[in-house]
Each structure stands twice: as structure tokens, then as C-alpha cells.
Amino acid sequence: DAGITQSPRHKVTETGTPVTLRCHQTENHRYMYWYRQDPGHGLRLIHYSYGVKDTDKGEVSDGYSVSRSKTEDFLLTLESATSSQTSVYFCAISEGTSGEYNEQFFGPGTRLTVL
Amino acid sequence: AQSVTQLDSHVSVSEGTPVLLRCNYSSSYSPSLFWYVQHPNKGLQLLLKYTSAATLVKGINGFEAEFKKSETSFHLTKPSAHMSDAAEYFCVVSDNFNKFYFGSGTKLNVKP
């Protein structure tokens, strides 16, 4: 299994509080991604990173920010959590080359509940 | 633009019968295509991938998929379903910029 960890694995928080989720990889892959998974929607991309300090928005980025100061860490921050952000969050990594090596590996997920 | 449509949100089969999960894609590029499986309360595991080497792709656990460019399809099949195949399956297309686009998923139920 690819070396990807997420922390925390479970979190319950209250509306309006800031929340930071951490993704850590030991594979030295260039690309890192944050997704949220909700029933009936598959996985939707929040933000992704194509290198240290290089990030871009995905399709559901409103209310989220990210940072990547080291290759191995990608942080997702909810500045002021809302109940609509209750979801399961997955981190993924990709080596970033085309063809055979172009696949994603996923972390175990973080279940976030915003009350 | 890239997108994926999984044609069935739920599929139910009996153990020992064939499985067919349908996926159509739209891509502006020569696509990379993937199938992932997610068992209940688990993460995502790669079943198989297509990256232009061969149109019939074999994956883990007896699954395979055929890339049909003329039909823009990448359907997932298995000759004989097993109870352990019950899970949610996601079809994914990748563009040339290392972004991945997920279908909404197909939940496979396997009846004894």
C-alpha cells in the first residue's frame, strides 16, 4: 500500500469553528489532492497541488483553503465550518507522469461531522 | 472537458452470475481510464487502468474492462460474481494535466 496517512480519522466540530485536516505521504509523489465524498456524488475535487506551494482549485473549493509547504504534507483548512461540509474527506497522491504511472493512491479518509 | 457517466447507480446480481457495470466518458484528449472499488467504510482501491497499451484491460479479482473509443465506453465486467464483490465502483477519467474526474458511482449488490 502507498504510504498515505490522514489525520484525524474522525472529527466532530461545531459550526463556525476552524478545522484543519492533514495528509501525509512517504512516496515523494508530486501531485496531492483533496476530495470530498457524499452519497450520489462520487468523489469531488476540492483542491489539488502540483508541487510545493503550487496549488489550484477544484470543482467544490468554496469554503476551503489548502497549503503545501513540504512535499510530504498537504493541509486542508475549513476556515469556518458549516453543516454542508459534513462529509468524508479523502486525500490522494499521484506521481504526475503520463501513461503507465498516471494513477492515484488514496488515503484512508477522514470523517468530519459539523454540528 | 472531461467527464464520466456511470449509467447505473445500483446493480444487483446473483452470486455466480456475470457482472456488468457501465461507464461512458467524455475527453478532449487521449484518455487514461480507471476503475476503483470501495468496500463499505473503506478507502478506494484501484481495480484496473487503461493507458493505451491494450484495449482489453485485466484487473484484480477477475475483473476486466474494454476500452471502446467509438462508443466512448469503458465498461467493467466479471464472469462470475462473488459475495465479496459487493461494494461501490467508480469509473474515473484523467486528463493530460493529472486531474481526475470521477463518476457518481455504482453500488453492486450480490445476492446469495
> Residue B26 phi/psi, 5° resolution?
-130, 130
Residues of A in contact with B98 (CB under 8 A): 31, 50, 94, 96, 102
Please give the mean pLDDT across all residues of chain B: 92
Residues of B in contact with A42 (CB under 8 A): 6, 90, 102-105
Q: How far apart are CA B30 and CA B38, in angstroms?
A: 26
Residues of B in contact with A103 (CB under 8 A): 32, 34, 46, 49
Pairwise CB contact (< 8 Å): A40 & B9: yes
Q: How far apart are CA B108 and CA B9, in angstroms?
A: 9
Instruction: Give the A:B interface size as CB pairs under 8 Å.
Output: 55
Q: Which residues contact B34 (CB under 8 A, 6 or more apart)?
A: A103, A104, B46, B47, B48, B49, B50, B91, B92, B93, B94, B100
Q: How far apart are CA B86 and CA B37, in angstroms?
A: 10
Block residue for cell numbers 476540492: A46
Per-residue pLDDT of chain A in tens (115 residues, 90 and over written 9)? 569 999 999 999 999 999 999 999 999 999 999 999 998 888 999 999 999 999 999 999 999 999 999 999 999 999 999 999 999 999 999 987 665 557 899 999 999 999 9
